A and B are shown apart, each in its own frame.
Chain A
Amino acid sequence: MRGKTRPGDRIFLGLSRGAGISLLVIMAAIAGFLAYRAGIAISKDDANFLTESEWNPAGNPPVFGIAVLAFGTIVSSVIAMIIAVPVAIGIALFISHYAPRKLAAPLAYVVDLLAAVPSIIYGLWGALFLVPYLDGLNSWLDEYLGWTYIFEKTGEGVARNLFTVGILLAIMILPIITNVTREVFLQVPKMHEEAALALGATRWEVIRMSVLPFGRSGIISASMLGLGRALGETMAVAVVLSPSFIISGHLLDPGGGTFAQNIAAKFNEADGFGRDALIASGLVLFVITLLVNGAARAIIARRKEYSGANA
């Protein structure tokens, strides 16, 4: 029965499939072109690109590496995750299980608003408002938790450090983690919760026994999506951090840097080769975020099938 397809159908299918393929081409092109320019830069690098902690592509011979940037990116993102994940789970639970019914929708909207604020404004607010406020907290941490090494302040200086950056990043990635976990919490079969309630469980016991186990993979992938955001955040970090090319475990000392922040800060003063070097560091960032996001999406996709069979 399949006669000849109409020309209009063929054209339209071709167009829409072409659009889909173009997205794949763009992704491949991003990887390809960044790798090509990065190759130019790394081949002339006089030091080990991965372990060198200096950034001087204009030198003779050029010496640059990503050790400091990788350290700063990972440390600030880890701080952000430590703060944001529990809080985001709390907010998601609040919206899905604790808030009065009528308030739930507006509250979800408020969280969306947090996501809509441009990152440069977070940066401005962080640098001019949050940093002075955190000075007090920093000296308090230094005084009472200084023995932990990471909270020891070795010098004077305002709170333009990796710790502050981590807090700011935590605020910025809250909405995405909250939204994804909330969706998963709402998918928890009502029967599980009602069964637990019928057995006399308190609300917390319901959450611990039926909601959290069901939502575990959702929480993990949501956290990884948040991690992806935190790793790639540029402007807020560039505005708040006072960068330096030193690896220091003292989180409260100003200094350090991240991949994205370094690109934004060094771009204007970089010559042609310097830009290639920055592209090389951007490639590393691209690969890391690709892996993190890919893993997160793979986990979500797997559980989509599972919950679909469950419904």
Chain B
Amino acid sequence: MSQTLQDKRPVAAVRTGSLSHARMPRWAPAAIAVGSIAAGCGIGSAAGWHSRVQWGIIAALIFVLATYVITTKVENSRQAKDRVATSLVWVCFVLAVVPLLSLAWVTVKEGMEVVDGYFLGHSMNGVLDVQPGGGIYHALLGTVEQVLIAAVIAAPIGLLTAIYLVEYGRGKLAKAVTFFVDVMTGIPSIVAGLFILATWNLMLGFGPSGFAGGLALAILMMPVVVRSTEEMLKLVPNELREASLALGVPKWRTILKVVLPTAIGGITTGVMLAVARVTGETAPVLLLVFGTRLINPNPFEGAQSSLPLYVYEQYAVGTDASIARAWGAALVLIAFVMILNLVARGIARWKAPKTGK
């Protein structure tokens, strides 16, 4: 067989052209990018614009145009469109990262100048607006207390609602709850504040207090807790429930002893993320907690302060010293929220329910 094949040597086909069309080298996009950034900077500085934003826009436009024209020449228009789409997608991503980096950089840079042990450990008692010094102790204390109150109220209700939806929920009531939980996540925080204002303060006649703020934050927390807990409970394998029920364990004990412990990591994560979310809420606190310069450790009586509110107040005062304090408090707030976020995600990874195998 092999001999017959070898007998006739095939005549080499005469190729008139390459089967694949011309491709641009791999470094081409990078080269075009460098070229257009240079052109953007050149045009920007030649025209004497101070705003780097404009330079960036010009560079981006040149990049997209150059990519399209060059690729159409070298390859074809379909490839050109593909490349333009790729670069647009990259530009979109950069557009999202730039503000995040800028915000983080500015906050850390401005904040570090103010934050120290004194700043964390003192209130604004007796500090004039124009004076440097003072601190955020009262605001930190207020934030922690209000957020704890919110968590103590919202976590059990959220947890039970999620259990209802996953373990029992059928029919119209469950559908209605699911829909309104979703809608509730979209309630503007200031509306939650107005609601507590209309009931707790205007109808029942209580004054501003940390507790009122905590109530509003609880309303904002509940749907987030329900949503995340629901997702986690759905991840618990049904076999576990069935095994427990088959042993004659009542359903409520199955839920408490089998389902919840399996999902506890994810639930903790969800609650912590919800806490992180409401920690930064300013609007309801502004309406309900009112703000003070003094340390008020009692959340049930009298005005308190809170970190986001402190940032707002110090910014509104507008002196150099107060704006520096605003940045300092902003740094502490952002660190607080980010640490909560990271710890929450760490727990999620560490305690993830074992699936498969």
Contact = CB atoms under 8 A, between A and B. Distances in A.
Do the two chains bind? Answer: yes
Interface of A: 6, 8-9, 11-13, 15-24, 26-27, 29-30, 33-34, 36-37, 86-91, 93-94, 98-99, 107, 110-114, 116-125, 127-129, 133-137, 140, 171, 174, 178, 202-205, 207, 225, 228-229, 231-235, 238-239, 260, 263-264, 267, 272, 275, 278-279, 282, 285-286, 289-290, 292-294, 296-297, 301
B316 to A, nearest CB: 8
Given A12-B251, A239-B315, A128 B323 contact: yes
A264 to B, nearest CB: 6
Nearest to A239: B315
20 contacts: A6-B250, A16-B164, A17-B168, A20-B174, A22-B157, A24-B177, A33-B203, A88-B92, A91-B96, A111-B96, A116-B277, A118-B337, A120-B308, A125-B103, A129-B103, A174-B96, A204-B84, A285-B191, A286-B187, A294-B183
Given A16-B167, A19-B161, A279-B197, A260 B281 contact: no
Interface residues of B, number: 96
A292 B187 CA distance: 11
Given A33-B199, A98-B90, A136-B54, 7 more contacts: A22-B161, A24-B177, A34-B191, A90-B95, A118-B279, A232-B190, A264-B287
Interface string B258-298: 00000000000000000011011111001100000000000
B311 A124 contact: yes
B157 A23 contact: yes
Interface of B is mostly: helix
B161 A23 contact: yes
A279 B338 contact: no
B12 interface: no
Contacts of B327: 124
Nearest to A87: B92
B197 to A, nearest CB: 7
B100 A110 contact: yes
B195 A278 contact: no
Given A232-B187, A282-B194, A29 B280 contact: no
Interface string B226-268: 1000000000000000000000001111010000000000000
B81 A118 contact: no
B91 interface: yes
Interface in B71-126: 78-79, 81-82, 84-86, 88-93, 95-97, 99-100, 102-103, 106-107
B141 interface: no
B330 A232 contact: no
Interface string B129-160: 00000000000000000000000000011111
Contact of A27 (B163, B184, B280, B341): B184
B287 A33 contact: no
Contacts of A290: 183, 186-187
B50 interface: yes
A23 B311 contact: no
Contact of A90 (B89, B183, B282): B89
Contacts of B89: 90-91, 93-94, 98
A267 B287 contact: yes
B64 interface: no
Nearest to B51: A136
A124 to B, nearest CB: 6
A290 B286 CA distance: 23
B165 interface: yes
Interface centre among B79, B161, B183 (most CB of A within 10 A): B183
A267 B180 contact: no
Contacts of B195: 29-30, 33-34
B168 A117 contact: no
B103 to A, nearest CB: 5
A233 B177 CA distance: 25
Contacts of B188: 231-234, 260, 285-286, 289
B27 interface: no
A225 to B, nearest CB: 7
B12 to A, nearest CB: 27
B349 to A, nearest CB: 11
A89 to B, nearest CB: 8
Interface in B179-218: 179-192, 194-195, 197-199, 202-203
Nearest to A298: B179
A13 B168 contact: yes
A113 B276 CA distance: 11
Contacts of B165: 20
B286 A267 contact: yes
Given A91-B96, A202-B78, A205-B82, A120 B311 contact: yes
